[in-house]
Amino acid sequence: MKQDVLSINLLFPVLNERLRLENGIERSMAYLKENVTIPYQLTILDNGSEDETPEIGKALAAKYPEVSYVRVGERGVGVAFRKGISINTCNLVGYMDIDLSTDLKYLGKTIEMFQNDPNLQYVNGSRFSKESDTKGRKWYRKITSMGLVLLLKTLFHMKATDAVCGFTFLRKEAAEQLVRESSQDNGWFYTIEFLLRAERDGMKIYDMPVEWQEDYNTTVKVWKTIKNYLIQMYHLKKAFRQEDKLRK
């Protein structure tokens, strides 16, 4: 059976990113033009920015036919990710952090893997694989991130070595299936649930070691995020138990 020609949609959830948005899109476009031969789109998903992000996003969309700017209106990576998947028309869809913490060369590697393996459904970037190279990570953020992974492995038997690298790509059908199955959490935990449900569904996932650079200007509030993770883990564990009962 002949495989359709692949295309890819890069989703960039942003909130008050006037300092990084233009650089992130320009660098991504330069890489794509030089290294990627399949059709591509870049979608800026604005979670309700109150700075100059909308103006910058609209200017980038006017400059590049491949770039679109979408005002989501609500805050949270989860709601932006869902919105991006709902409007996506490409075979492959995924999100990247606008700071491009994950080296862009892994985008090319991701596309190549999907091209070579029609059964591959999910590529999950990992900072904690043995082959990964993480630079500039503050000690307390390294501890909290590794603690999260340990909790996920303990509570959900997660196989992946990382859950919030900020580099995730899926086939269109797999992404849409996971949206139907997942909760309506608007925060970062939504991307974790996505991965856990993909594992639970038996999807073929590649846990990709990456080169990753810490960005000290991140807008993520670490301790607030951790609190939300703990609450959402409790709710997801409860949901999984109920789903298991219904399956029996």
pLDDT tens digits, one per residue of 23-68? 999 999 999 999 999 999 999 999 999 999 999 999 999 999 999 9
Per-residue pLDDT tens over the stretch 218-242: 555 666 777 878 899 999 999 999 9
Is 203 within the bounds of a domain? Answer: yes
| Residue 179 burial (10 A CB sphere; 0-12, 13-18, 19+) | middle
Mean pLDDT of all residues belonging to the chain: 91
Is 80 within the bounds of a domain? Answer: yes
- CATH, residue 121: 3.90.550.10
Closest CA to 124 of 170, 181, 75: 170
Is 42 within the bounds of a domain? Answer: yes
Is 2 within the bounds of a domain? Answer: no
Task: Reply yes or no on whether the pLDDT at 139 is more than 60.
Answer: no
Which structural domain range is residue 117 located in? 8-247
Residue in this structure with the two tokens 């029996």, named with its chain if needed:
248
Q: Are strands 92-96 and 167-171 parallel, antiparallel or unpaired?
A: antiparallel
Is 128 within the bounds of a domain? Answer: yes
Is 3 within the bounds of a domain? Answer: no
Is 129 within the bounds of a domain? Answer: yes
Token representation of residue 184? 């309506």
Helix (H, G, I), strand (E, B) or coil at 195: helix
DSSP state letters, 1-18 = -PPPPP-EEEEEEESS-T
Q: What is the pTM of this model?
A: 0.90
pLDDT of residue 99: 93
Is 63 within the bounds of a domain? Answer: yes
Closest CA to 27 of 95, 105, 91, 88: 105
CA 234 to chain centroid = 22
Domain count, the chain: 1
